[in-house]
Structure 1
Amino acid sequence: MASSALPGQLLGPTKSNNIGAGTHISSSNLYASIAGPLTSNPSTSKSSPAPTISISRPSGDLLPEVNTTIIGKITRTNPRQASLSILALGPTGAHVLREPLPALIRQQDIRATEVDKVKMAECFRVGDVVRANVISLGDERAYYLSTARNELGVVMAWSEAGNVMVPVSWREFVDEATGAREGRKVAKPV
């Protein structure tokens, strides 16, 4: 099991895991409700031998710096930029923030090439989890981020039908349940 979780992340089936703090159940599966470090405590009950999975709020104040890799969730998009909340620092989200921080990915910072052909709707959707790099501390409103490297982009996405999708190329995810394909700026796995 991963050492930290992001909101909406699948933690496992409820038949082999008990619900704990910071988690919720949907369709017989256990999901993360908040971002934070995961703990798995052995069961003390004879009727339910499965461990209890919990997520706790992180402690300490971490702030991103220029060239820091972050994990964030898209909150809003328009044709020129995507707004997101920075949830964790590090390529795998190892350092979860106590409070989300506001950030922007501008159209010109999505890809390194063919910047003028980038369409925001084909790169990001609200709810996508993104790995990005801090390129500027920005202003008092938001950090500025970039996904202009192969290992940066969408790492987790949900289809319009609400199903978790899997990447099939550097620019497309597929909903395995419905077969629907949706465009994204896909991050190469690290």
Structure 2
Amino acid sequence: MAQARATTTDEVLAAAARVFRDKGYRNATLDDIAAEAGVSKPTLYRYSEGKQWLLDSIARKVRETLRDRVDEHTHLTGIDALRATIVAAARSTQDLRVYYEAMSVNVLELSAEDEAERREWMKEATLRTAQTLQQCREEGSMHLPGKPAIYANLVQSVLRGIFTWYDPDGTTTPEELAQHMIDLFALDVREDIAASPSHSP
């Protein structure tokens, strides 16, 4: 069922995201998107440059929103910065859920240029997380015996897939979710198990 008539680019992007999520990028048409947005096809072109532009813009919206929210906390360091990063990811999932859902099934359809930007953004996010975890280790708020880069990749992998399992309408707040993730780093592991990578239960 079509939504109310779109009157902004963001509303057109949201309509496109719903269509891409439900039909897939290759099967979706501009007519489908115009109908979902409640506008005519000529009107659709006032807000977009075409189907590829819409998909790339959806991916860009996700990146820029998350980057802006993380940048709000650049004055924080260590454990506070890590917490803010996780909360930002959870809130972005909440606010842009349909965008995440659209991208999850259409990421291979991004233009070469936008795919390159996406990969650069992922590297940037991982590097920033590694720096934050290093600060956590230096300030003594976390015991991290391994390489910060490995932990950072683990954290970012979880955050990129958070929309698949985190229910923003559930009982767990973004702040509580962040604390759960931080608690994982604080878990003590039995020395006999930690010293034996080949150990199996």
Name the TM tier (shorter chain): under 0.3
Instruction: Work out which of the two has the higher radius of gyration on C-alpha atoms and give 1 or 2.
Output: 2
TM-score under structure 2 length normalisation: 0.25
By relative contact order (CA 8 Å, sep 6+), the higher-ranking structure is 2
TM-score under structure 1 length normalisation: 0.26
Which has more strand, going by share of residues?
1
